[in-house]
Amino acid sequence: MSSVEEQIRELEDELKNTPYNKATSKHIGRLKAKIAKIRDEAVARAMASSGGGEGYSVKKSGDATVVLVGFPSVGKSTLLNRLTGSDISETAAYAFTTVSVIPGAMEHRGAKIQILDIPGLIAGAAMGKGRGKEVIAVVRSADLILILVDVFNEKHVDVLLRELHDSGIRINQPKPDITIKKAGCGGVRLNTVGAVDLNLEEIRAILAESKIVNADVLIRNDVTQDDFIDAMIGNRIYVPAFVAINKVDLVDEAMRNEVREDVVERFGDEPYMISAHSGYNIEALKDAIYDNLGFMRIYMKPLGGRADMEEPLIVRRGSTIEDVCNRLHRDFVEKFKYAKIWGESVKHDAQRVGLQHTLADEDIVTIVTRF
């Protein structure tokens, strides 16, 4: 075992043996910050030393990217083929068949979604073991993580969640509203908006682990110590994820239910029960992928003409007029005069808006450009 892992283990043991109360909260914050710091440095070292071998620099394509995460042989390659309707990822009945990232394209409800099948190895990845570090880089760049386990090993969900967490990936949680601005002097100043439970003492102790003694800290809404440490370390990725349980064709109804309930307990949300092999529940899984990615349909209406209600433009939730312009033509942003909108994102029909306007699902848009 490496000294880094030993250090972390020792700190985690101490953490486990420290009951949480008002008097210990500062000490606990310090321990957690120490662990986060060591882990972050180890990941950074691993990333820097990895050459990013063949297959890892995956070009993003399509409207969004989904990555399949799971142990070897749970059926990732089979699922990729099932979702994309092709036979691009070799499957075999033995472990470690996938050695590099294999991309596929799935079309669903008008959206083109890139699916990445990555090497089945993830345990220990956060510490840079095996090819884990490259895997992490790919996972961190995804718009959605699909955690795949097979029906006989649903407990692996815990390991995968842990690995993702240790890699700085935060799933299904909003980014906490915290800003830490380093200052030259004046110590740590804390400003809060709304009810905030963290006290200045804890914050000072945590920041000291990153050798920050002067800073302006702004916290909006209640956040935990862990959130604050995440903000301090600063390279966290916030991404949606869900769990699918594969190979349910191999078990009976009673066992399916048992496994499903077990995963709900471990993960918090309902998993999708699927069979990549037989195709069972695959349409529901496609719908879930689409819904989780948060797409919007935008209907384009030429100036003075009728809106095209047949073929919407598919964009991510939160997209602006500028995003739409960039999708339509490379000159549009430069030549942009104004846009007119009909729909949820505006107060009245045909309202004029600028490039920074945020669209809503099913808006109708006319873009007016200079010639």
Contact positions toward Mg ion, by CB under 5 A? 76-77, 97-98
Contacts with ligand GDP by CB under 6 A: the residue count is 21
**Which of 193, 250, 255, 264 lies at the binding interface for ligand GDP (CB under 6 A)?**
250
Distance CA 11, CA 39 (A): 12
CA angle (67 as vertex; 108, 62 as ends), nearest 5? 45
**Which of 42, 276, 298, 367 lies at the binding interface for ligand GDP (CB under 6 A)?**
276
78 counts as binding ligand GDP under rule CB under 6 A:
yes
Q: What is the 3-state secondary structure (H, E, C) of 295-312?
A: EEEEEECCCCCCCCCCCC
User: What are 134's two structure tokens?
Assistant: 């490259």
91 counts as binding ligand GDP under rule CB under 6 A:
yes
* Contacting residues for 357 by C-beta, under 8 A, at least 6 apart: 320, 321, 339, 341, 345
* Contacting residues for 337 by C-beta, under 8 A, at least 6 apart: 368, 369, 370
**Binding to ligand GDP (CB under 6 A): which residues in 38-77?**
70, 72-77
Closer CB to Mg ion, 75 or 128, in the complex: 75
**Which of 246, 292, 345, 366 lies at the binding interface for ligand GDP (CB under 6 A)?**
246
Strands (E), 157-200: 169-171, 178-182, 188-193
Q: What type of residue is 288?
A: A
**Binding to ligand GDP (CB under 6 A): which residues in 104-143?**
120
Options 169-177, 217-225, 273-281, 294-302: segment touching ligand GDP (CB under 6 A): 273-281
Options 91-99, 132-140, 206-214, 215-223: segment touching ligand GDP (CB under 6 A): 91-99
Place of tokens 């200045």: 200
97 counts as binding ligand GDP under rule CB under 6 A:
yes
Positions in the binding site for ligand GDP (CB under 6 A): 70, 72-78, 91-93, 97-98, 120, 246-247, 249-250, 275-277
